[in-house]
Amino acid sequence: MEYRTLGRTALRVSPIGLGTMNFGPVTPEDEARALLSAAHDAGVNLIDTADVYGADANRVVGDVSERKGLTERIIGGWLAEDPGRRDDVVLVTKAYGRTGPGPNDMYLSAKHLHSACEASLRRLRTDHIDVFMLHHVDRAAPWDEIWEVLDDLRRQGKIRYAATSNFAGWQLVQGQEAAIRRGLLGIVAEESIYNLMERTVELELLPACAAYGIGVLPYSPLNSGLLAGILAKAQSAQRSASARAVDGLARHRDGLGEYEKLCRELGADPAVVAQAWLLTRPSVTAPIVGARTMRHLTDGIAAAELALTAPELARLDEIFPGPGPAPEAYAW
């Protein structure tokens, strides 16, 4: 497997990341551990999780699921099986979401980020987090406060790098400039929704990431399964519980038909082509493969090995055209 550096850092990561959001509620613990081991054996060293993953909507106490943190505990148990694994893994976890009933048990205050980091360390059974990610924007949290706590955690050896998820381009610029003023490395990665059908990030976010050397980790690379060959799978639309997927299928059936036809001509699975396309995009380091089954993992690994030609990439752009960069996309 050919490793890539994460943004402007020297940190080398696999060209796909193992997304673990389904571990626990959807993928049972024994199967999740098998996926972790298979990914490790294949050379996938990037593991992506979050403190709120593992929540079961059917088991809620007040407004907080009693199972939040389950995914981190599963990963922590897997790491503890073989302590040598921890040195092989680049571990990403996130903080922002509600983890308790109190008013400061969520968002990006210094108080919550400190406690969230400590709790993740306990659940993951490790002494440090490689990439500590702000899971969403908190408009009430000033960057001076955020960098104060992140630098504090870094100096304590509890985190190595800081990153963001679901931020806008202007917010990354604002955050990175604040880091520069403090003499800090700043943001090294941004995790955003990005796929052939959802290309909004090309307007502002990708140019901002390119300008500051921020690596992009796309999530939902298959757009809720729409890019995984949904038309060829006769009952996929009926099986899907995602309203977003059902709506997307209704609006984009013709384009998906052209896409699946092209994949057949290439002799490649649609799920593999969609992820391979992401690996050609500017600033993208590694798509996050939200694996529920071993097949999802093997498709991601195959994508890292598929080289798309310039004519093939041009055809994909014809089927699913992006918005183009700003401001050219909307100005003269």
Angle at 308 between CA 225 and CA 329, to 5 degrees: 75
Assign 63 a pLDDT band (cuts: 50, 70, 90). low
Stretch 253-282: mean pLDDT? 97
Closest CA to 16 of 271, 328, 214: 271
CA 105 to chain centre: 23
Structure tokens at 64: 């907080």
* Residue 186: Cβ-neighbour burial (10 angstroms; 0-12, 13-18, 19+): buried
Flag whether 330 is in a domain.
no
Over residues 149-188, the pLDDT tens digits come to 999 999 999 999 999 999 999 999 999 999 999 999 999 9
Q: Could you tell me if residue 206 is inside a domain? A: yes
Asked about 194 being catalytic, the answer comes back as no
In a domain, 261, yes or no: yes
pLDDT of 243 strictly over 60: yes
Asked if 270 and 203 count as a contact pair (C-beta separation under 8 A), the reply is no
Contacts of 84 (CB under 8 A, 6+ apart): none
Model confidence over 84-139: pLDDT tens digits?
A: 999 999 999 999 999 999 999 999 999 999 999 999 999 999 999 999 999 999 99
Domain count across the chain: 1
Domain assignment of residue 326, yes or no: no
In whole angstroms, give the CA distance from residue 227 to residue 217: 18
CATH number of the domain at 177, please. 3.20.20.100
C-alpha span between 245 and 226 (Å, rounded): 6
The pTM score is 0.94
Q: Which of 53, 194, 212, 259 is catalytic?
A: 53
Residue 329 lies in a domain: no
Q: What percent of the chain has pLDDT over 70?
A: 93
Report how far apart, in Å, the C-alpha atoms of 294 and of each of 35, 89, 227 are.
Answer: 6, 19, 18
pLDDT value of residue 249? 87
Containing domain of residue 120, as a range? 4-319
Classify residue 327: in a domain, yes or no: no
- Provide DSSP, 69-108: THHHHHHHHHHHHSTTHHHH-EEEEEE-S--SSSTTSSSS
